[in-house]
Every structure is written in C-alpha cells, then in structure tokens.
A = this chain, B = another copy of it.
Amino acid sequence: MGLLQLNSQPSTLSSTKPMARKTKEDAEITRQRIIDAAREVFSTHGVSKTSLEKIAKHANVTRGAVYWHFENKAELSFAMREQVILPLFDRMDETLLVNNHNLDPLQRIENFLLATINVLNHDPATRQTYEIFMTKCEYVDEFSLVLEEILDNCSDIVKKLEQTYEEARQQNLVHLNHSPADLAMDTHLFFSGLLHMWVKDSDGTRFRDRAKSMIQTHLSLRRK
C-alpha cells in the first residue's frame, strides 16, 4: 500500500502521503524542511507559542518526524540559529581581516557592517532568524545557553574590530588619543544597537531605511 520506492534516489515528497521513506538524502531534506517551517512559524508567532504540532503541519510531516530529527523545540531552534550564525562569522573574517581589495582598515570595518545589513535585507532566512532570536524568544532555561554564546561571539567581534582599528592607527587614519580597544567597543555597541533597532523596525520606515547612512556616519566620525 502507498507509493513504492524503486531505488535509492531522493523521492519527490509528493502530496499523496507514502507512509514511510528512508534514503539519507530524503531524511536530510525533511530535516531542512522542518527547520524552514520552524523559522517561518516562529517568526510570526514566536517560539513559545509555537507548538511542534504546528511546525510539523507547516512542514507537511508529523511530530514523529520532528522528534526523530530534534530532541525538542530548543534543539530545533539552536540548529536553526547555527545555519545563519556560522556564515556570518565566515563573512566577518573575510570582510574584516582579509584585505582583498586594497581597502584601508576603516573601509573594511564599514564594509563589514554594510555587508551584514545587506544580508539581512536580501536573505529572508537570515532576517527571520535574527528577528526570532532578538525579539521572539525568551532567554531562560536552555535558551540562556545561547546568551553565553552571544557574549562570546561579541567578545570575538570586538577583538577583530580592535585588530582592525590598530591597523588604522598605524596608518594614521584615526586620532591618536583614541585607543583601538575603545574604538572597537564603541563601534560594537553602535552596531549592536543598530541591529536591535533594525530588527524592531519591521515596517522599515524608521531605521532600516537609514541604517546604511548611519554606518557611514559612524565611521566618518572616526576618520582623522
């Protein structure tokens, strides 16, 4: 009964429901669909008010599939977060530290900030994930582990900014009475605030449209 799988190629996951499937490729597709579904439902109803049942339905599977791939809602959320956080840090290293295009250090910082905003503007998955983790989840119980991670990540960002500002100072691009550490922390706080405002302004009429110019302004304030 149901559709027969004749070989190991990923099946089409068609609308008629075959009762069980199994190639590793199919399983991976299912897993990703669950993550995608979770992101979408989370971003409209928040994490707490979203049951695994709703996620499952939105992904055209049952809770059985969700529990097969993830321990619980928290672990599912963490997997979702990693998918956008890791690429962000790759971009950071590339944009900020590697001098590909003969840009001066201050330009690299500006580019890093602009690039991040750009991703948020153009990649819905990243944007939704940011919204979820900044305004639609609660950092208690298991989620408080994420807070620690965030703090670690921030320290990392500040370090790399500091390195870059140090370069800028050596090239005499910034005023000497400002230490790279201070500049780095100030820029980080600026950007942190900007991201929070950007996310909160879901209409896009108060901050999102001005984000880029604010970044340029921030860096022009540093330049000698």
A residues neighboring B (CB under 8 Å): 44-49, 135-141, 147, 150-151, 154-155, 178, 182-183, 185-186, 188-194, 196-197, 200-202, 206, 210, 214, 217-218, 221
Contact = CB atoms under 8 A, between A and B. Distances in A.
30 contacts: A46-B138, A46-B139, A46-B140, A46-B141, A47-B138, A49-B141, A136-B140, A139-B200, A147-B202, A150-B200, A151-B201, A178-B221, A182-B214, A182-B217, A182-B221, A183-B221, A185-B210, A186-B190, A189-B189, A189-B191, A189-B193, A189-B194, A189-B197, A189-B214, A190-B193, A192-B193, A192-B196, A192-B197, A193-B193, A193-B196
Contacts of A147: 135, 200, 202
B48 A155 contact: no
Contact of A200 (B47, B140, B151, B188): B151
Contacts of A189: 189-191, 193-194, 197, 214, 218
Contacts of A192: 192-193, 196-197
A155 B178 CA distance: 29
For A147, A189, A206, the residue with the greatest tally of chain B CB atoms inside 10 Å of its CB is A189
Contact of A218 (B138, B186, B200): B186
A139 B140 contact: no
A149 to B, nearest CB: 11
Given A46-B48, A183-B221, 4 more contacts: A46-B140, A147-B202, A182-B221, A186-B214
Given A138-B46, A138-B49, A140-B136, A193 B188 contact: yes
